Amino acid sequence: MKKYVALLLALCMVFALCACGQKDSGTDAAKDAEATDSAVDNSAVDYSSMTIAWSPANLSNELQVTLTDNIKASVEALGAQYLSSDPQGDPVAQVEQVEQFISRGVDMILMSPNDASACGIALQEAVEANIPMIIVNCKMDDMDGSVCYVGCDDLSAGEILMEYAADMLGGTGTIGILRGPDGLDAAIKRTTGIDNVLANYTDITVYDSQAANWKTAEAMSKTENWLQNTDLNAVVCENDEMAVGAVEAIKGQGKSCDDVLVFGIDGIPSAYESIHNGEMKATLLQDAKAIADKTIEVMQLYFETGTVEDEYIIPWVVVDSSNIEEYYEG
């Protein structure tokens, strides 16, 4: 009799344990379902109720125009309201325009700063207003408080371009350097990259280095002046619009672009045409469409998950006579 009682108690314990296990399992499943539902809810973002502001550096620059066109199209495709304004390369104007976006209570600001230091106040004001800001194409001296950076690495651009130019020059010659606007992060870093490489080529002499502010006409004028006063072997330009100006100056002086080599950065259509025509020797493609697409992708990731990386770097691509037909559309 005692054996039967013991067996009965044992069976009761087994059933009790099974019942507990089923209860716990059901609770866990309910929690998992709740978590899944919560994740779905968090990712359901109504962009039609949002306003996204884009602050380009200067819409007289071809790359900035491409960025703007692609960002505008993507924001509107999401159904969000799109705001933008052109500071025309003036950091004071850019800060004022961003302040207007902040006063309107936009949901996010995308900014390509035209001054690495002066535009910092715009970021800090956005942070104070709890408006997230993604920095695009050009970094600032102080990125603290920004969501992240999306763009290319300008230090490596200067290094890659100058190494390519030095190789074409055979490690010797006299060059002129056309810089971007003083104070702009992209120009500062590209110049540093060029200088880093030149330190290894003591037989390459820099005749002069001047800021032509990304502008074709300024680059043309400065290059003409150089050519009237010295024999240059190359002009290394920190963007393509200046490179196009350098080419025009060389041709205008009756010289050949095979004798005075020209190099640029950005990969804009006019540079591709110049390379196709045997004028410019190379450019580095800064893929504006890829930068714009990644910016919108990261913006969505931020709104839908709240978590993004500190930076998203788009790689450079050397475009020269060996691969120009892949890029030149004629």
Read off the pLDDT of residues 224-244 as tens digits, 9 standing for 90 and up.
999 999 999 999 999 999 999
Read off the pLDDT of residues 55-71 as tens digits, 9 standing for 90 and up.
999 999 889 999 999 99
pLDDT of residue 176: 98
* Whether the Cβ atoms of residue 142 and residue 173 lie closer than 8 Å to each other: no
Positions in the chain short of pLDDT 70 = 1-43
Short-list 307, 288, 302, 290, CA closest to 47: 302
pLDDT of residue 330: 82
The pTM (predicted TM-score) of the whole model is 0.77
Pairwise CA distance, residues 230 & 53, whole Å: 47
pLDDT of residue 183: 87
* Whether the Cβ atoms of residue 67 and residue 112 lie closer than 8 Å to each other: yes
pLDDT of residue 12: 38
pLDDT of residue 264: 98
Identify the structural domains of the chain with CATH numbers, from first to last. Answer: 47-152+288-314 (3.40.50.2300), 154-285 (3.40.50.2300)
pLDDT of residue 203: 98
The interaxial angle of helices 288-305 and 2-43, nearest 10 deg, is 140
Pairwise CA distance, residues 23 & 192, whole Å: 66
